[in-house]
Amino acid sequence: MKFLTTAILLVFLSFQAWAVPASKGAKAPKAPKEPKTTAANLVEQEGAMPSPIKPLATASAAEMASRFFFEALRPYGEWLEIGQFGRCWRPAGVGERWAPYTVGSWAYSRLGWTWVSQEDFGGIVYHYGRWCRVDGAGWCWVPDLEWAASWVSWRYGPELVGWAPLPPKAKWNPQSGIGIWADRDFETGPENYVFCPISAFADTQLSEVLYPQSAHAICFQRSVSITNLAASGKSVFCGGPAYNWAAARVKGGIPVIRVVKERSLVKFREQLNEAVGVAVSFKSVVKEDRLTTVAPEWGVLADPRRADALGFDVETTEPVKVPKWSEAGPGEVPSDANEPAAGRVAAPKAVVSLTGWERVPEGLRKALKLKVSKEVGGLTSANTPAVPFDPERDLPTVR
């Protein structure tokens, strides 16, 4: 009897286990259907499908900088292919005696002597690159990627101070910097310098207080090299005359400013428009003791697709023809008939880089070169690098 009861219970439980899912409406699963599009089909079709997002063209830091410089400076001058210097830029609308670092003023910042330019192109060519003076072409700017408050060599004397644009051979080396041996090693002569009385050093219109070119050799003779560009972290400190020495000799002192390097091209233009209401420009504008300057990170521009807000497209890959200064006779033009008339320039007989010694009389030239040699002695970039930046010495009153 006990066996029969147990058997009936097992049959009942089995029936319950089978009946519960059926009472809830559960159905047996159906076999999945074959997909209409397989993974292999998608791979085959992908190449024919238009992409909704335009990919950014890859470019090296040097390529990005080159595109930016070319388009940014084209409204203010012309690009030329000049011998060993390659693609250079020459400003338009400047006088025959014009020189870099003359239309503006000097200020002091945590980055050293900072040039505040009054020219629309100044925010680029006085903080990047070097300058060469070419016979027949005048001063031309040679691009380079490193930013600095200024790229000049310095001389000073008891009553005067002078500066000269560094030439292309002045390559930046963070280990050695650029020291007092610059005039000797780069062969910078008196005519590539400009000088002013130290009492007028803080003038906001320095071009009006510079000594005439006829006095450059005498000023050079009465001064010594004080060039000192040294690495300061990832930046360049632009040393020269000691700030306290210069400020004590200038009525009213020398402006002390804060430099803001704007990495975004779009934001830079917005700030410049707010300050002076200009169109595309790279003028140095000091507002509330702050100088905002464009300093893109070439390799990682935040969004190159937005750079057209500056009036040009830095992604363009179309090659642009640049006139060459050939070895044709004076007054002739490049033979490329397709070049627009506005782009044609007179070509000198040969590309000759002027160091500033050419018109100094031979006897005086020998004496001045001997003076430069004695100033430096046996010091070289290898055994005497630029003096390291020292906040206590170099920035006694800078905010």
pLDDT digits (tens, 9 = 90+) for 122-181: 999 999 999 999 998 899 999 999 999 999 999 999 999 999 999 999 999 999 999 999
pLDDT tens for each residue of 100-128: 999 999 999 999 999 999 999 999 999 99
Give residue 160's Cα distance to chain centre: 30
32 belongs to a structural domain:
no
8 belongs to a structural domain:
no
Q: How many distinct structural domains can be found in the chain?
A: 1
pLDDT tens for each residue of 217-241: 999 999 999 999 999 988 999 999 9
331 belongs to a structural domain:
yes
5 belongs to a structural domain:
no
The answer to whether the beta carbons of residues 66 and 143 sit under 8 Å apart is: yes
pTM for the predicted model, two decimal places: 0.78
In angstroms, the CA 77 to CA 234 distance is 31
132 belongs to a structural domain:
yes
306 belongs to a structural domain:
yes
Containing domain of residue 200, as a range? 61-394
381 belongs to a structural domain:
yes
34 belongs to a structural domain:
no
How many other C-beta atoms lie within 10 A of the C-beta of residue 299?
Answer: 12
DSSP H stretches of helix in the chain: 2-23, 39-46, 61-73, 122-125, 182-185, 216-221, 243-247, 265-276, 362-376, 391-394
